[in-house]
Chains A and B, each alone.
Chain A
Amino acid sequence: MNVLLAVPLVVPLLGAALTLLLRRLPTAQQIASSLVLLVVVADAAVLLAHTADGTVVVSQAGGWPAPLGITLVADPLAALLVLVSSVVLLIVLLYAIGQDIGGLSRATPQVFHPIYLVLTAGVCLSFVSGDLFNLFVGFEMMLTASYALITQAPTRSRVRASMIYTLVSLTSSILFLTGIALVYALTGTINLADIAGKLGAATPALRMVLALLFLVVFGIKAAIVPMHFWLPDSYPVALTRISAIFAALLTKVAVYAVIRTQTLLFARDDISTVLLWVAVATMIVGILGALVQDDVNRVASFALVSHIGFMIFGLALGTVAALAGVLLYLVHHIVAQASLFLVNGLIRQFVGHTSLRAIRGLTTVSPVLAALFFVPAMSLAGLPPTSGFVAKVALFQAGVALGTWQAYVGIAAGVLTSALTLIALFRIWTRAFWGTPLPDMVEAKQRLRNASNRGGLRMMTAMTAVMVTAGLVVALVAGPLSELGFTAAHDLVDGEAYIHAVLGEEAPTP
């Protein structure tokens, strides 16, 4: 078994067990989970280095050849996503640790650390799994951990929100299972590469039914309109550390699954028109929702929904350039969205809530906070020179290069959405950050400044700054990143590399 692929699963799970044992020693627990994530980051970096040239790294778990055993696969896309996710997970973990050190949260750290590591393992497994059912297991690991996390500090509103979250996720899981049954019924295998080969002989109509069904299954988790409603009702209510990770990663895992299945399994089936309209609807409906929200977190959540549309749009285009753009967008969005939610968490820490109706003049209260908000807001609005700009340009270029009317419809929607995102996010800025600070906010700031937990607050701010900087770094290294994106997109469009790597050279290809 290739160790590189095993580490992101095994180490976090071992770490989870360890932190569970260490639950009476908070410091040891914190150090342990940080170390675990560091190891994962390092491993992911090595993995990415191995795959950067388009190589597909394969590990047959247990040593059984592909269609029999479970295959773990890392192509450039998966490797990159593992790396970005683990970095984001690490930063958010440190943020949370800072918060715990300062005693600023009511989370239960004893439970938080092990579950968080399980989530890590689930996310990584979902990325590298090369087997449909194993993907389901990875999803379930991730989701179960997320259920546990979203109910941290279970106030009434949180319990309600997690009810919505859990039930929708469960519905998706059930449909996923149904989809697996149908795939197995049709092909008699559940290895992704094997399915890809065997679906070629299947009735096209049935194949397309499956393609659409899997779009629905993952679309629920990716919050694609019209299956997005749950997201703005659940994410904003969770603890910051958790909503940040959810917003950054969970939807992206689902988007990844959509990409993987639609490119590898159903590449022959043209559901691009469906994808396109879904993408357009997602962009527009999401951002219209963001405009009328009154809570910073809810605005961010609706914006999140809206921007999933961009990735689906790229997938709908389906060309190498478009998929490269999607990859850029994925990376950009993971980091930017996490930054935004962390900043929102800081706002909550400063003023006690995130409702726009009672926040004014945050620039005066904390200029640092203002700067930290401004950068991800720019990035999400697609203003240069941020990563959001780069990603959007890549998608627009791909659309123009394709030149079909559908592509132009998507581009038009993208432009409109970008403009509306700008309005939605800078509305927060003008309302919350400018103006005369409310007297109680000034007091709150004084209190925070004098409190004994400044160290924790500093660490939280520092980690938010690190995340924001990470966003800038993404923009800075956009050059190599887009090269990588093109390599990954080639692998995705081609599919042969993946299938051959998993099943061996003699495998039939679509």
Chain B
Amino acid sequence: MSQSHAEPGDPRSTSAVPADRSRLRRILTRLPTIVLLTTMWVILWGKPEPGTIVAGAIVATLCYWAAKLPHIPVRLSFRPLAALRLVAYIGYDLVASSVRVAIHSLWRPNRTSGAIVAEPLRTDSDFLLAMITGGLSLVTGSLVIELNREEGVVYMHGIPMNSPRSVEQLRRQIRRTEELFVRAFGTNHDLAEFQRRANGGSTN
């Protein structure tokens, strides 16, 4: 199965398939977004009454149609256990590094320096990359500055970086986060690719 690398919204990604099937598929691929929007609506409204749900669905469809959101074929899988691990890791990291930054900001902000490191990634699914960078940025003390999509290199700013050792730690953290994300959400194909690159050690 060849992985499509089409840019988001590229019409070519669906044009190859026969017409009626493609329409069905298009609707199906859009369904999750609409369901998501509807759910939000219902949550905001407070009570899940049928009227609310219908109204929400209509509003969501309208929003979707009006905003002409690009529909991207979602190619993800979901592994609950790995996801849990991921959440736990991120949560811990978040709190821990928050405390770290807090300490620095309280006692020695002037002596705190940062570093920008380049770290090659081992996956190239769009979704995964977005999630990984998001996750990385979320965690205190790290900030994605630039993502080189073609070579799969992520440039991270980290803080506090007072020694080469902490730089290495930062790199490790990036790789760990990446791995967790791929394990939680990557398709089998992604996983295989990731492992191939990780084992091969080639950074491309």
A and B, direct touch (CB closer than 8 Å): no
